[in-house]
Amino acid sequence: MVNLETFSDAVLQFQAIAQEKAVDRFQEAALDSLQKVLPFDRAWWGIMSARGESFDLHCSLPFGLADTWLPMWEELKRDDAVAQAVRSTPRQTAHFDASQLSAVAGLRTLTREHDIGEALCTSIYLPSDRSFVFLSLYRSFRSPAFAPVERELNQYLMPHLCASWTANRQFQMECMKASAAQDGIALALVDRHGQVLNAESGFVERMRIEWPAGSNDVLPARVAEWFRSGEEVLKLGTIVLHRYPLGELALIAVRARTAADSLSGRERQIARAFSRGESYKEIARTMEISPATVRHHLRAVYLKLEVGDKAEMTSLLHASDFFLESEELLHRYRSLQHKPFF
């Protein structure tokens, strides 16, 4: 029988970690905590979806597993009887001993190569019902077998672990928004397949303007294509998006498009320097162009922005500067992790 005090302490610890840890550090910290009440040697925690007789991995954390784990799994995933089993029995922790893990050739190769003699595996479907969170806890061939009470504890803890992961993403999105120090943006966290895991209402509203018939939980095809390309910025008809990698996930920020978004990279660079008070000669020297070229670009900027003076230009530039460089945003975000939350 599960010890209620142990269960309660574990749940409280998950909730504390959800507020304390950055998005890309939560899973590792939560598994460290789980390992203290339910010992295991290795683990694998992530999100996947079924595709025919195989699976697509959306994001994952191999915990204590060798770097060979993921590429080998990708080659052998059609033989992953564990994934097949937990896919069809969500919220039930399945136990696999060495003989069951060796029943299929591909799974036998994968587990023996990584010294996995036993597993506890659980899945919980996401609201979209197209993909599911999975957690596999492994013990090596030399470790004691999982006891029935440990399987039961894992099954009871899994919903709380998933809820804490969701709460972590929601809470940390607010921290990241504070890091950007801008109110005109809306945020979402997505996995590598463009599935939206968490999103502010403003994100959905802005995306609806561009795609009235779009889905709330999957990025539109055009945005998903941009997301997979690795490019940081996407300018569309009415909105602009910026992506910030966060481990296996990514933060997407969206804001309304402004007149300043029509400027070229060089025009924006010159306009920013001029708005900071640099002279034509100083800008020319920095960019290794002539003062006349600087003047030509500024004239084009004024025309595109439909402004008549420097103050108006500076105001419009500021309105379009919602996005920080990735390193700057993440630096500010990380600094928040060292401050207490109340």
CB 250 within 8 A of CB 257: no
pLDDT digits (tens, 9 = 90+) for 32-50: 999 999 999 999 999 999 9
Dist. CA 129–CA 123, nearest whole Å: 12
Q: Which residue's entry shows tokens 């994934």?
A: 83
Q: Is 156 exposed, middle or buried (0-12, 13-18, 19+ CB in 10 A)?
A: middle
What is the Cα gyration radius of the chain?
25
pTM of this prediction exceeds 0.85: no
Cα–Cα distance between 104 and 99 in angstroms, integer? Answer: 10
Listed range (18-22, 213-217, 266-270) with the worst mean pLDDT = 213-217
Strand-by-strand arrangement of the 239-246 sheet: 196-199, 186-190, 249-256, 239-246, 233-235
Cα angle for residues 249, 251, 255 (degrees, 5° grid): 155
Of 80-84, 105-109, 294-298, 323-327, the poorest mean pLDDT is in 323-327
Collapse the DSSP code of 192 into the 3-class scheme (helix H, G, I; strand E, B; otherwise coil) and give the result: coil
- Which of 224-254 are b and which e, b meaning 16 or more Cβ less than 10 Å from the residue's Cβ? eebbeeeeeebebeebbbbbbebebbbbbbb
Which string of DSSP letters, residue by residue, matches 147-161?
Answer: PHHHHHHHHHHHHHH
Confidence of residue 338 (pLDDT cuts 50, 70, 90): very low
Alpha carbon separation from 156 to 13, 36, 151, 323, 329 (Å, rounded):
15, 16, 9, 41, 37
Is the distance from CB of 93 to CB of 122 less than 8 angstroms?
yes
At 227, is the pLDDT very low, low, confident or very high (cuts 50, 70, 90)?
confident
Over residues 248-280, the pLDDT tens digits come to 888 888 888 888 878 888 888 898 888 888 888
What is the structure's pLDDT at 328? 59
Convert the pLDDT of each residue in 41-83 to its tens digit. 999 999 999 988 899 999 999 999 999 999 999 999 999 989 9
- Helix, strand, coil fractions of the chain, as percent rounded to 5: 50, 20, 30
